[in-house]
Every structure is written in structure tokens, then in C-alpha cells.
């Protein structure tokens, strides 16, 4: 089949626009990585764009010298895996119940969930509630308070409502319980939305750090990786003003310590890298989820 000149021009322009868009998406990550691998004083004086001008691993050496780093990484991985699993179970069960149009007080229940998206009690009531429930300085404080969220429930509920209802009715006629219908029929048909919600919950668990500071003691037993990285960053920021003169003298002697900016970029890289490694395995489910509603009978 012959391709006209107009189609060739269109494909060429389309390719150029996609390349520009891809570069604009990749540029922030490349810039962060380049700054984290550059010498601190050199990055502060002349700036870094896409490639480290004066290669240095000082920022990563400083981060990995933290004695609680690997223990906190274990806590974060455990929290992310277990927390995401129970989040998916709780969200799927509630969304399946709310997807039943014959549920009593369905609209009122949905309104109560939506209300929590816009209003909350604040940090102090949340802290007092967690202490009264005995969750303070317990692993459960990372898992139970955020067991379900309103937005994932609404998204999953809508997805369940769009499934073929005749298939669910046939399962009930054959004697399947609601739980069996959910586990054997609904969830296997809802892989795209389950993968999307899994990534949403997992990123929330992996990047959370404030609950480490507010709801655990400072002994490091339950410190998450992000909590440790934030502590390192805050310490470097606090010492920045006091160390400007000494950093200048060290740079004149050929020595250099990582600046707060370089440490910040290194912590961002360490936090983001696991998410970037997991995303390609879930991408196919996102694509199938976007095309699922494209074909109608």
C-alpha cells in the first residue's frame, strides 16, 4: 500500500512530537540522577544538566553510612507488600458491596465515603485516636489507619458496575456465595483496576514518612526507609549554613563534602528507583484497562 506525502509528513511530525514529549518526561529523572552523582561544590557553583561533570559518590556514601538504613528498608518493604495486599482486599470487598444497586442505604454509604475525601479531623485528633486504639509505636499503625481510601473504592466500584451483570447472576443461580463470586469471577475479570490500585497503594506506602515521625518512637525500630532519608536530609539542611566556610576551605584543598542539594537528589533517586523497576511489570495491565471499554458489543 502506497503512503501519500501527507501521511509521511504526519508520521514524521508525530514522531518528532513524541520524542520531545518523551524527553520532557525523562529530563527531570536524568537531571536528578546527574546532580546526585556530581561533586557537591561543583554542582552548586556551575550547575549540572544531564551528565555529572565531576563524578562523585559522596552523597550515596553518606546515605549508606546510616546504621539503620537496611533495617528501615526491610520495614518499608514489609509495609509496602503487606499493606498493599490488605488494602486491595479491603477495597475490593467494600467496592463489591457498594456496586450492588439493591444495597440498603447505598447512596448514604457512598456519600460518607466521599465525605472523607474532602474533610478530616486533623493531625491532633488522629494522633489521639491512634494512641487510644493502642496502635502507637506498633507495626499496625502503618497498616490499619489507611486500610481503605475513598477514591480507590469509588474507582473500583465503578469498574465492578461495568462488568457483565448476567455473568454474576448466573453464578448466584448456580449457588455461588457473594464471596465466592467476588474471588472467582469479579477479581479475575478486574485485573487492570486491581493492578492500578495496587500501584497506587504501594507508592503511597513506599513514599510515606510522616507517620514514622508522628506515630512511632525515635528508637529506629519501626523507622521506614523514607523516614531515615528525610532525617538525613533534614540534618544536612541544618548543617548547611554552619558548614559553608569549611566546605569552601575543603574545596580549595581538593576535598569536598556532599551538599544538601546533592543529598536531596540522592534520596529522591533511592526512593524513586524501586517504583521505576516495578512499573514496567504493571504497564500491560494499564494498557488493557484503557482499552477494555473501547470495544462494545
Terminal-residue alpha carbon distance, the chain: 31
Report whether pLDDT(293) > 90: no
Per-residue pLDDT tens digits for 175-211: 888 888 888 888 888 888 888 888 889 989 998 888 8
Query: What would the pLDDT profile of 69-102 be if each residue is shown by its tens digit?
Result: 888 889 999 999 999 999 999 999 999 999 988 8
111-126 pLDDT, tens per residue?
999 898 888 888 888 8
**Cα–Cα distance, 48 to 247 (Å, whole number):** 19
**Rounded distance between C-alpha atoms, residue 226 and residue 207, angstroms:** 6
Euclidean distance between CA atoms 181 and 171, whole angstroms: 7
Radius of gyration of the chain (CA): 25
- What pTM value is reported for the model? 0.78
The full set of domain ranges for the chain reads 60-291
Helices 69-98 and 150-161 meet at what angle, rounded to 10? 40
- Residues 223, 82, 279, 158: is their CA dihedral positive or negative? negative
| 263 within 8 A of 62, measured Cβ to Cβ | yes
Determine the CATH number of domain 60-291: 1.10.3720.10
Residue 38, beta-bridge partner list: 55
Amino acid at each position: 500500500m502506497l503512503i501519500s506525502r501527507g501521511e509521511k509528513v504526519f508520521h514524521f511530525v508525530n514522531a518528532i512530537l513524541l520524542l520531545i514529549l518523551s524527553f520532557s518526561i525523562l529530563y527531570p529523572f536524568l537531571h536528578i540522577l546527574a546532580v546526585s552523582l556530581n561533586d557537591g561544590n561543583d554542582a552548586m557553583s556551575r550547575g549540572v544538566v544531564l551528565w555529572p561533570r565531576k563524578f562523585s559518590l559522596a552523597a550515596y556514601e553518606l546515605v549508606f553510612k546510616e546504621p539503620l538504613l537496611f533495617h528501615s528498608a526491610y520495614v518499608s518493604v514489609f509495609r509496602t507488600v503487606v499493606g498493599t495486599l490488605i488494602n486491595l482486599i479491603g477495597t475490593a470487598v467494600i467496592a463489591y458491596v457498594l456496586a450492588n444497586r439493591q444495597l440498603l442505604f447505598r447512596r448514604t454509604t457512598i456519600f460518607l465515603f466521599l465525605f472523607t475525601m474532602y474533610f478530616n479531623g486533623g493531625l491532633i485528633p488522629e494522633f489521639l485516636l491512634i494512641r487510644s486504639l493502642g496502635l502507637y509505636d506498633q507495626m499496625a499503625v502503618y497498616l490499619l489507619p489507611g486500610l481503605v481510601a475513598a477514591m480507590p473504592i469509588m474507582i473500583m466500584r465503578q469498574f465492578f458496575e461495568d462488568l457483565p451483570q448476567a455473568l454474576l447472576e448466573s453464578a448466584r443461580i448456580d449457588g455461588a456465595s457473594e464471596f465466592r463470586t467476588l474471588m472467582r469471577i469479579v477479581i479475575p475479570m478486574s485485573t487492570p483496576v486491581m493492578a492500578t490500585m495496587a500501584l497506587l497503594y504501594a507508592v503511597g506506602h513506599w513514599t510515606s514518612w510522616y507517620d514514622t515521625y508522628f506515630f512511632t518512637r525515635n528508637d529506629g525500630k519501626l523507622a521506614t526507609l523514607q523516614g531515615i532519608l528525610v532525617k538525613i536530609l533534614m540534618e544536612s539542611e541544618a548543617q548547611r549554613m554552619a558548614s559553608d566556610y569549611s566546605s569552601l576551605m575543603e574545596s580549595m584543598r581538593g576535598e569536598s563534602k556532599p551538599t544538601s542539594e546533592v543529598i536531596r537528589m540522592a534520596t529522591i533517586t533511592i526512593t524513586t528507583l524501586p517504583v521505576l523497576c516495578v512499573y514496567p511489570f504493571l504497564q500491560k495491565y494499564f494498557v488493557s484497562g484503557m482499552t477494555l471499554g473501547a470495544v462494545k458489543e
